[in-house]
Amino acid sequence: MLNNLFNEVCDLIDKEWIYETEDFQKERQYQLDLTNFLRKELNRPNIFSSKNVTVTLEGQNNCDIAINRDEIGIELKKDLHNENEINRLWGQLDNFTKTFDDIIVVLVGNPVPHYRDLLKQKIVERNQDRRMNEPYIEIIYPSDEDDDKGDGFPVWRI
């Protein structure tokens, strides 16, 4: 339900997670890389506190990555190419809302702009209509609009 950890995870993915699209051929490679990155960054000690955030690589019938068991679910989608993939993802997200407090969808690779924008619109509308106790869904994906990280791979976030 939108807390500091959720915002921190979104910022880490949005602003600091760097990947090279040509290095990863399969979605699983992105999942492993992001899981390791988040484990390291979320548990980095500092002078103000020491955290113990669990980051688990999931899969099968669950989201790709779980943070603190069921606090945040992360679902990665590589190369979103058609409406069937959006419908499948929408069904997955519907199931994940029963498990996780909040959800992050990360589009990686080369999503087709039309379908990327269609998914964004569906998520924006769903978030506007959600009840207070329902999970918020954030989407982070490549676009031509912004390049926050300076790595040549722009990121756009709702």
Q: How many CA atoms lie within 13 A of 100 on its CB side?
A: 30
Tokens of 110: 């080369």
**144 or 96: whose pLDDT is higher?**
96
Of 11, 4, 6, the residue nearest 48 (C-alpha): 4
pLDDT at 136 > cutoff 70? yes
Q: How many CA atoms lie within 13 A of 128 on its CB side?
A: 7
> Tell me, what DSSP letter sits at residue 24?
-
Predicted TM-score (pTM) above 0.95: no
| SS3 call for 126 | helix
> Are 154 and 144 within 8 A, CB to CB?
yes
pLDDT at 75: 96
Q: What is the pLDDT of residues 41-84, one digit of tens each?
A: 999 887 776 778 999 998 666 899 999 999 999 999 999 999 99
Q: What is the mean pLDDT of the chain?
A: 85
pLDDT at 151: 44
Q: What is the pLDDT of residues 125-135, one digit of tens each?
A: 999 999 888 99
* CA dist., res. 115 & res. 141, Å (int): 12
Percentage of the chain beyond pLDDT 90 is: 62
Long-range contacts of 129-133 (CB under 8 A, 24+ apart): 132/1, 133/1
Query: Considering all CA atoms of the chain, what is the largest pairwise distance in Å, rounded to the nearest integer?
Result: 48
